[in-house]
Amino acid sequence: MPKAVRISLDAMGGDHGPSVVIPGAALALERHPDIRFLMFGNEATLAPLLNAYPKLKEATEIRHSEIAISMDEKPSQAIRMGRGKSSMWKAVQAVRDNEADAAVSAGNTGALMATAKICLKTMAHIERPAIACMWPTLRGESIVLDVGATIGADAGHLVDMAIMGAAMARIVFDLDRPTVGLLNVGTEEIKGIETVKEAARILKESSLPNLDYRGFVEGDDLGKGTVDVVVTEGFTGNIALKTAEGTAKQIGEYLRSAMSRTLMAKIGYLFAKQAFDALKDKMDPRKVNGGVFLGLEGVVVKSHGGTDALGFASAIDVAYDMAHFELMNTIRTMLEHGPLDQPA
Amino acid sequence: MPKAVRISLDAMGGDHGPSVVIPGAALALERHPDIRFLMFGNEATLAPLLNAYPKLKEATEIRHSEIAISMDEKPSQAIRMGRGKSSMWKAVQAVRDNEADAAVSAGNTGALMATAKICLKTMAHIERPAIACMWPTLRGESIVLDVGATIGADAGHLVDMAIMGAAMARIVFDLDRPTVGLLNVGTEEIKGIETVKEAARILKESSLPNLDYRGFVEGDDLGKGTVDVVVTEGFTGNIALKTAEGTAKQIGEYLRSAMSRTLMAKIGYLFAKQAFDALKDKMDPRKVNGGVFLGLEGVVVKSHGGTDALGFASAIDVAYDMAHFELMNTIRTMLEHGPLDQPA
């Protein structure tokens, strides 16, 4: 029998807490029957909700926690009141204590990152964690990082991110040598920020065996899917991600309003409904939910706070893949071949 | 008789040079018959092309220039070979010499910015120019700057940009007190880059009479149109702009492919064709073509290099508005009321 994949859940995290986490977990379990859940939260709340999902109940162990970290808690406050006690902390600690292979929380990003950093610690040779997300593209999907773990990055951090992102791409896309680009304001070598240019030089000269460095990419390459992995500093990455999400919503609004303006348009919409539904499905942000924290001694996945059960299930899917295909070991192996050990 | 608006054109700039510039100018002249053009470029090329547009010919004076700056010229090279001689330089110089009220070029951004900085100089109290663009939103349009003039910005630069952007918004949107936001990774005061937080403090404390500072905005606020003016540093701004353009193209592709996949979808498309055309028109990037260089002693507008006549005409429209409604004086007046003269 194959080994179960053990996932710990912060059942109290997110805008909707257990009312989204539990049905989300049930959905994920249907897709991956080999998951075993450790669910942290208020037992009195969780137990009755779980009764509605007999299969999930069977695959889940509830661990009581009195404290839930709210969505607007400052990271420092989340640590002060949550250390060792909150459902968020305990879910992450389960990974540290090897009771779980990955943790998932829809709690606030800052608090979760602070918790993960303190509880799990960063990997050897990695100074700063990053958050990687799946980015839908015309060619399929790319991995983009950092979308908001840390503000500011020097050349070394960018190179670390390139390696970690490529490790994740190996797993997610099943590629031997994922292509990697550095986000910049132009593709010419002379352009851009010094740190980005320096990172480019290092990546080029170290010619890593498991990573195909392709140079600079620009903002519009994200949607094109020019490379498998796009690396950027967290401030810019976060703004790019939210700008793309905002633009997608905006065009969705335009489309909705165009299709309801005239009778002819409404008739056309009815004929093409299936196509519109397919498009809506393709653009559904819930399907790419799940930011992966990279660079920590353990797998933590952050779900959007406002997502629903379908979205939360996607975040669990991501955690499952990372745990099942051994993200940690892949990163470790790639770091061993990294520029740190290369002759200058 | 009202005064003519005099616009100088770099007729050799862009991917297509005069074959786009001349029909573009003809289009703009139809919309604004009070424009007078000074057209710089190779006379032997321009004169015969101009013969096809009698009205434009009447409103245009050709000035010969031997040298055209190519699209991949480095800024330093463009200055070295172009100073005083290239069609780009001469178009900008016409503004300096008060022969034109604004210059338009589709030449490469770096070369045009370098030319404009050296030839026109920056305004008093302004250290660095910025490029502002019109951003289509769900509420109409916003102004976003800097989308790529300068990489890196300190708090003072961001405040300057807020004032210059607000001046442009006064003109474009005819508002007394445009709303302004600083682009950041969160809306809470504690979040983000130090320079952005410091700029926020200055804008808040100086409470400028002609500018309604609204705090931080995020990437998805761009498409929503949360504020009239969004201020950010050039690296992030450029990436946000190109990410949005890329996302819009990507969704356009999805839509096209969805509408041609099945017979029903194709029939639906035919019924809704008018609505689709309206949508396409709304999303047409040519209609928002024209980046305004702010902070220089004169108005320079940069057109997309690869645009067509319709797009180039839009860039001329922008230059027309800026010249006609006196961008320079508006900025000067607002700078006088700026935080520079405010008690700390």
User: Which residues of chain B neighbour A72 with C-beta distances below 8 Å?
Assistant: 188
Identify whether residues A226 and A244 lie together within a single domain. yes
Residues B36, B59 contacting (CB under 8 angstroms): yes
Given an 8 Å threshold on Cβ–Cβ distance, is A218 in contact with B235? no
Q: Domain tally for chain A?
A: 2
Instruction: Provide CB contacts within 8 A for A206, sequence distance 6+.
Output: A159, A338, A339, A342
Q: Can you count the helices (H) and strands (E) in chain A?
A: 14, 11
Q: Which of B267, B287, B307 is the last residue of a domain?
A: B287
Return the pLDDT at A278: 83
Identify whether residues B79 and B151 lie together within a single domain. no
Q: Which of B287, B305, B332 is the last residue of a domain?
A: B287
Confidence bin at A281 (pLDDT 50/70/90): confident
User: Which residues of chain A neighbour B254 with C-beta distances below 8 Å?
Assistant: 279, 282-283
Given an 8 Å threshold on Cβ–Cβ distance, is A240 in contact with B239? yes
Given an 8 Å threshold on Cβ–Cβ distance, is A243 in contact with B220? yes
Which among A224, A243, A271 has CB closest to B244?
A243
Given an 8 Å threshold on Cβ–Cβ distance, is B224 in contact with A268? no
User: Which residues of chain B neighbour A232 with C-beta distances below 8 Å?
Assistant: 239
Whose structure tokens read 């392709």?
A: A214
Given an 8 Å threshold on Cβ–Cβ distance, is A283 in contact with B251? yes
- CB pairs A-B closer than 8 Å: 195
User: Which residues of chain A neighbour B185 with C-beta distances below 8 Å?
Assistant: 148, 151, 234-235, 238-239
Given an 8 Å threshold on Cβ–Cβ distance, is A190 in contact with B74? yes
Length of chain A: 344
Question: Nearest residue on chain A to B240, judged by CA atoms?
Answer: A240
Which among A74, A264, A274 has CB closest to B262?
A274
Residues B255, A282 contacting (CB under 8 angstroms): no
Residues B180-213: pLDDT tens digits?
Answer: 999 999 777 667 789 999 999 999 998 888 899 9
Give me the DSSP letters along B39-99: EEE-HHHHHHHHTT-HHHHHHEEEEE-SB---TT--HHHHHHHHTTTBHHHHHHHHHHTTS
Q: Which helix (H) or strand (E) holds A315?
A: helix A309-324
Helix B155-173 and helix B327-336, axial crossing angle in degrees, nearest 10: 130
Task: Compute the nearest-CA separation of B85 from chain A (Å).
Answer: 25
Residues A118-151: pLDDT tens digits?
Answer: 999 999 889 899 999 999 999 999 999 999 888 8
Given an 8 Å threshold on Cβ–Cβ distance, is B185 in contact with A238? yes
Identify whether residues B283 and B307 lie together within a single domain. no
User: Which residues of chain A neighbour B137 with C-beta distances below 8 Å?
Assistant: 250
Given an 8 Å threshold on Cβ–Cβ distance, is A243 in contact with B223? yes
Q: Which of B287, B306, B330 is the last residue of a domain?
A: B287
What's the CA gap between A241 and A253, in Å, rounded?
Answer: 19
Residues A11-33: pLDDT tens digits?
Answer: 999 999 999 999 999 999 999 99
Which residues does residue B10 pair with via DSSP β-bridges, in sequence order?
B40, B105
Return the pLDDT at B338: 65
Identify whether residues A251 and A317 lie together within a single domain. no
Confidence bin at A343 (pLDDT 50/70/90): very low
Identify whether residues B49 and B81 lie together within a single domain. yes
Return the pLDDT at B337: 74
Return the pLDDT at A2: 65
Interface test with B, best of A184, A250, A270 (most B CBs within 10 A): A250
Token pair in block for residue B226: 């949360």
- Domain with B178 in it: 131-287
Task: Compute the nearest-CA separation of A178 from chain B (Å).
Answer: 22
Sheet holding A212-217, edge to edge: A60-64, A35-41, A5-10, A102-105, A299-302, A291-294, A130-137, A140-145, A229-231, A179-183, A212-217
- With respect to residue A174, please indicate whether it lies within any of the assigned structural domains: yes
Token pair in block for residue A43: 């037992």
- DSSP strands (E only) in chain B: 5-10, 35-41, 60-64, 102-105, 130-137, 140-145, 179-183, 212-217, 229-231, 291-294, 299-302
Given an 8 Å threshold on Cβ–Cβ distance, is A246 in contact with B224? yes
Given an 8 Å threshold on Cβ–Cβ distance, is B243 in contact with A248? no
Task: Compute the nearest-CA separation of A155 from chain B (Å).
Answer: 16
Identify whether residues B149 and B19 lie together within a single domain. no
Task: Compute the nearest-CA separation of A184 from chain B (Å).
Answer: 7
CATH number at residue B2: 3.40.718.10
Residue A47 in this model has a pLDDT that exceeds 60? yes
**Of the candidates B132, B167, B3, B276, which has an alpha carbon nearest to the alpha carbon of residue A276?**
B276
Identify whether residues B92 and B219 lie together within a single domain. no
- With respect to residue A337, please indicate whether it lies within any of the assigned structural domains: no
Q: Which helix (H) or strand (E) holds A328?
A: helix A327-336
Which among A220, A236, A253 has CB closest to B236?
A236
Return the pLDDT at B279: 82
Which among B249, B267, B275 has CB closest to A262?
B275
- With respect to residue A338, please indicate whether it lies within any of the assigned structural domains: no
Question: Nearest residue on chain A to B147, judged by CA atoms?
Answer: A185
What's the CA gap between B208 and B216, in Å, rounded?
Answer: 17
Q: What is the residue-level pLDDT of chain B in tens, covering all 344 positions?
A: 568 999 999 999 999 999 999 999 999 999 999 999 999 999 999 999 999 999 999 999 999 999 999 988 889 999 999 999 999 999 999 999 999 999 999 999 999 999 999 999 999 889 899 999 999 999 999 999 999 888 889 999 999 999 999 999 999 999 999 999 999 997 776 677 899 999 999 999 988 888 999 999 999 999 999 999 999 999 999 999 999 999 999 988 888 888 888 888 888 888 888 888 888 887 777 777 889 999 999 999 999 998 999 999 999 999 999 998 888 888 888 888 766 444 33
Identify whether residues A141 and A268 lie together within a single domain. yes
Task: Give the dihedral of Cα atoms B277, B283, B285, B288; nearest 10 deg.
Answer: 110
- With respect to residue A341, please indicate whether it lies within any of the assigned structural domains: no
Residues A77-133: pLDDT tens digits?
Answer: 999 999 999 999 999 999 999 999 999 999 999 999 999 999 999 998 898 999 999
Residues A107, A69 contacting (CB under 8 angstroms): yes
Identify whether residues B243 and B116 lie together within a single domain. no
For all residues of chain B together, what is the average pLDDT? 91
Question: Nearest residue on chain A to B194, judged by CA atoms?
Answer: A151
Identify whether residues B59 and B191 lie together within a single domain. no
Q: Write the ipTM.
A: 0.89
Identify whether residues B138 and B253 lie together within a single domain. yes
Interface test with B, best of A147, A150, A230, A247 (most B CBs within 10 A): A247
Given an 8 Å threshold on Cβ–Cβ distance, is B193 in contact with A238? no
Given an 8 Å threshold on Cβ–Cβ distance, is B219 in contact with A242? yes
Given an 8 Å threshold on Cβ–Cβ distance, is B219 in contact with A244? yes
Identify whether residues A144 and A82 lie together within a single domain. no
Which among B236, B244, B275 has CB closest to A268?
B275
